[in-house]
């Protein structure tokens, strides 16, 4: 069997597939759906879960125009039809039409939001279709009048002579107010540094966190009942910016439980939901999943074996493994995040302004990642349809120690770099433990290779240029 061929139409996403049908004196054979070959010609991996057959005994049966809330792959087992499709989605192509006479050698992929209809041209026609969501009671969806003058479908058999159900005889006319909006974006962890930056970039996105706030709904991903009640099928993209990031507190009895709930159980739940509802999962992880022994050049790579040190790191690594099971996922590993709220840069700026001369560790080396850079990287991956998988993301420029970053902040605050002295991670840890507080192990080398995301066309901004802008605002 050879590959089928694909033809585009005036309706975005609606494509015609010419199947490889083999005929002989016995009849014919065709591969009606062969996933590997369909993906090879450019069809989306839409994940069908149900196969339906509509048998039509008489020529002239006319069905539709129905806009079910799922993708469909339609074809014929026997007979011929005149197919008609109308774009019912919001946008410039709302109301656009496409028609085609189909026999058993032709199939059409119909994306969600496109009205589907057909008229039977031969007796005993069997119309088959794969869908990627199970039918469920009570579901409603828009329909369109078969004789709507705006779309003016040129039915080969006049509708007055056609066989039409009572329901389809009373479908409404085309109305832009009923246009189907695209599926939404959901931001999980909306009250954190990255969550707030994501909201600024996606003001129409739904937002959830562990507690309610203005415009933010409370949703605990460890609450099975709450998760089951959430309308996950409404979303095309779910961005998980939620995490337990108190690295030292994760070493305590209570912190260990909280870290694993947020960093492992939550992502595992989202990965399962992504498989069930076919949304794209964007998940934020950390360079802490590595032990920091990789050389600074090129730094940690995406395919480096996981080697987490502390509880926080181990819980993040477990979350990475779970997210990797989602069919459509972008796992972004990042480091040293700076955004709205308390963070290292703001602390150093405050110390500089107060005349304090701090001692800062000088043997941990990495790169800052500003939240607006993370938002830009997420948008780039989604908009460019980059290959799903894991990407390292941070700002660019040379790797620096925490002390060097503190010195850069001091210099930009009118203080001397010499006002920031150095210390080792071990000495700093001894001081923390002497106060009876927990201290988690840190990777000493946090710099990551950025080659993979650069290969998608994304060029990270230099960290010091981003620092200048951050301090200015």
- DSSP secondary structure string for all residues of 322-372: HHTTSSSEEEEEE-SEE-SSS-HHHHHHHHHHHT---EEESS-EE--EEHH
Residue 431: CB atoms within 10 Å: 12
Q: Rounded CA gap, 93 and 214, in Å? A: 35
Backbone angles phi, psi at 331, to 5 degrees: -105, 115
Q: CB-side exposure of 360: number of CA atoms within 13 Å? A: 26
Decide if 199 is catalytic: no
Backbone angles phi, psi at 247, to 5 degrees: -55, -45
Nearest 5 degrees, angle CA 313-CA 319-CA 323?
Answer: 145
Burial of 140 (0-12, 13-18, 19+ CB in 10 A): exposed
Structure-block tokens of residue 405: 């970053």
Kind plus residue range of the DSSP H or E element containing 257: helix 253-260
Q: Rounded CA gap, 101 and 443, in Å? A: 63
Q: Which residues in 274-315 belong to E strands, given as ranges?
A: 280-286
Structure-block tokens of residue 272: 């399962």
Q: Which residue has the tokens 């969501």?
A: 133
Q: What distances in angstroms separate CA 382 from CA 26, 50, 280, one per listed residue?
A: 48, 28, 9
The full length of the chain comes to 473
Q: Which residue has the tokens 């995301």?
A: 453
Q: Rounded CA gap, 5 and 107, in Å? A: 10
Q: Which residue has the tokens 């026997």?
A: 78
DSSP state of 12: T
Q: Which residue has the tokens 């150093």?
A: 348
Q: Which residues in 94-190 belong to E strands, given as ranges?
A: 97-102, 106-110, 114-120, 125-131, 184-188
Helix (H, G, I), strand (E, B) or coil at 314: helix
Closest to 188 (Cα-Cα) out of 149, 164, 219: 219
Catalytic residue, candidates 118, 127, 129, 428:
129
Decide if 329 is catalytic: no
With contact defined as beta carbons under 8 Å apart, do 403 and 425 qualify? no
Rg, C-alpha atoms of the chain: 28
Residues taking part in catalysis: 66, 129
């Amino acid at each position: 069997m050879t590959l089928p061929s694909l033809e585009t139409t005036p309706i975005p996403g609606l494509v015609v597939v010419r199947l490889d049908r083999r005929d002989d004196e016995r009849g014919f054979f065709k591969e009606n759906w062969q996933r590997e070959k369909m993906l090879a010609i450019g069809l989306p991996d839409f994940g069908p879960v149900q196969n339906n057959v509509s048998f039509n005994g008489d020529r002239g049966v006319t069905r539709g125009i129905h806009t079910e809330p799922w993708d469909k792959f339609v074809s014929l087992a026997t007979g011929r039809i005149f197919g008609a499709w109308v774009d019912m989605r919001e946008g410039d192509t709302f109301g656009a039409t496409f028609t085609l006479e189909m026999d058993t050698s032709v199939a059409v992929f119909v994306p969600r939001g496109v009205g589907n209809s057909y008229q039977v041209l031969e007796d005993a026609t069997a119309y088959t279709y794969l869908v990627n969501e199970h039918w469920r009671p009570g579901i409603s969806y828009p329909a369109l009048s078969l004789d709507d003058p705006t779309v003016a479908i040129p039915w080969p058999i006049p509708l007055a002579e056609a066989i039409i159900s009572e329901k389809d005889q009373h479908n409404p006319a085309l109305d832009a107010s009923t246009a189907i909006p695209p599926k939404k974006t959901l931001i999980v962890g909306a009250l954190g540094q990255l969550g707030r930056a994501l909201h600024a970039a996606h003001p129409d996105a739904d937002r959830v966190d562990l507690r309610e706030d203005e415009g933010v709904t409370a949703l605990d991903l460890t609450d099975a009942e709450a998760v089951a009640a959430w309308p996950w099928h409404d979303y095309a993209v779910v961005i998980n910016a939620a995490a337990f990031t108190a690295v030292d507190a994760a070493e305590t009895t209570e912190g260990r439980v909280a870290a694993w709930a947020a960093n492992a159980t939550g992502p595992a739940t989202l990965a399962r939901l992504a498989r069930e509802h076919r949304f794209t999962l964007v998940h934020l992880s950390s360079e802490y999943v590595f032990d920091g022994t990789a050389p600074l050049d090129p730094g940690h790579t995406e395919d480096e074996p996981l080697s987490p040190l502390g509880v926080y790191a181990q819980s993040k690594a477990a979350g990475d493994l779970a997210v990797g099971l989602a069919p459509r996922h972008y796992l972004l590993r990042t480091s040293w995040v700076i955004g709205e709220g308390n963070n290292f840069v703001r602390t150093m700026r405050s110390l500089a302004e107060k005349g304090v001369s701090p001692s800062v560790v000088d043997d941990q080396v990495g790169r800052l990642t500003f939240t607006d850079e993370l938002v830009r990287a997420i948008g780039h991956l989604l908009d460019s349809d980059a290959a799903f998988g894991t990407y390292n993301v941070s700002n660019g420029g040379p790797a620096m120690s925490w002390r060097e970053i503190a010195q850069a902040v001091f210099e930009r605050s009118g203080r001397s770099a010499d006002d920031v002295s150095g210390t080792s991670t071990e000495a700093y840890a001894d001081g923390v433990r002497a106060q009876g507080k927990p201290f988690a192990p840190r990777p000493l080398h946090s710099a990551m290779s950025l080659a993979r995301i650069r290969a998608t066309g994304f060029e990270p901004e230099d960290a010091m240029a981003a620092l200048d802008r951050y301090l200015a605002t």
